[in-house]
Amino acid sequence: MSANVYKNVSTIAATQTALPPYEYTQDQLISEFRNLWAEKYFNVDRIEQFHRNVMVGSRHLALPIESYQKLKNFSQSNDAYISAALEISERLIRDLLKRNDFPAEQISAMISTSVTGLAVPSLDARLMNRIPFAPSLKRTPIFGLGCMGGAAGISRAADYLRGHPKDSVLFVSVELCSLTLQREDLSIANIVSSGLFGDGAAAVLLLGEENLRRETLPGPQILANRSVFFPNTEHVMGWDIGETGFKVVLDPGVPEFAREHLKPGVVDFLKEEGLTLDDISVWIAHPGGPKVITGMEEGLGLKPGTLRLSNESLLKYGNLSSASVLFILKETLATHPPPGSLGLLIAMGPAFASELILIRW
């Protein structure tokens, strides 16, 4: 067990998730994609095979499924993104604040992340006109971290709170992956992604060590965090952004990359904190896909099923990019790990890179 003495640790005081109202089973979505690509793809049955292999049972979409046919270009898709992202974000934030009796004007800083649309002014700026935050709210929108953004956002909030221990931070992730669909792209990466990714949003309220609300909103502490960058891996994951919008970059070797390259960074991080893998009893991992989850378990030497909540989240919602790990964090908190338990939150994303967060209950 670590002998480190941690100062100015932040607390995960509350989490909240939100989904668009339009839910479809994977069977319904497979039928839609078969119709969409039947005349263009040489083997339409292979599309169904790809979609079933990702082990997703259902997904929520930002729009009714028939509305996607009306989106003729990137501009229209992005306008739909801004509208839907604001609606779901406002509902999410109001719900979190109401459930925890936390006035919006008491939020010191807001960090937000999204990688499925573009907005200037940013989404957080537009939310200022919908929710009564203080005009002095410090806003930091983050773009480009993809699936890693949920973990990175918590890390950056914890970094801020180390220097501002009396403050509170609201971190918000909103991802509407369905609005990035490339209808003319018949690449394997796009077909797999069209069966894997869903839409959703999540928020986390974090409090500094000297924040007076910690007594009424107790929660696990963030002890330390680590960013890990893998050089010359831009080809592994990301977007190619062009006139039709966001074209997915997704290397089929991601599961093997996770199996081979994740562990050294985790071990080094834990060693610096005076810990080993055996000291971690709670694992919170972004569900990149079923093979990625298996690759992480095998690469880290975990027992099969350790990342059960990741598989369950993937089945229920699909991969929600940066929001997924926050959904799993919420489910993990609901299991009430014993006091003193140590957890590690992990997510990987474009560049290729990973973000690691050490948590203590």
Active site residues: 147
First to last CA, the chain: 14
Question: Which pLDDT score, from 0 to 100, does residue 1 have?
Answer: 58
Helices 324-334/308-317 angle, 10° precision: 120
Residues of the chain with CATH 3.40.47.10: 12-214, 220-360
Task: Give, as one character, the DSSP assignment of residue 197.
Answer: B
Q: pTM of the full predicted structure?
A: 0.96
Any residues with CB less than 8 A from the CB of 180 and at least 6 apart, and which? 77, 116, 117, 239, 245, 246, 248
Residue 125 in this model has a pLDDT that exceeds 80: yes
Any residues with CB less than 8 A from the CB of 236 and at least 6 apart, and which? 249, 251, 253, 254, 257, 350, 351, 352
Tens-place pLDDT, residues 22-68: 999 999 999 999 888 877 777 888 889 999 999 999 999 999 999 99
CATH class of the domain at 12-214:
alpha beta
Helix (H, G, I), strand (E, B) or coil at 180: helix
Tens-place pLDDT, residues 288-297: 999 999 999 9
Report the candidate in 78, 103, 255, 109 with the shortest Cα–Cα distance to residue 180: 78
CATH architecture of 220-360: 3-Layer(aba) Sandwich (3.40)
Helices 290-300/254-272 angle, 10° precision: 40
**Tokens read off for 273:** 């904190």
Tens-place pLDDT, residues 227-282: 999 999 988 889 999 999 999 999 888 999 999 999 999 999 999 999 999 999 99
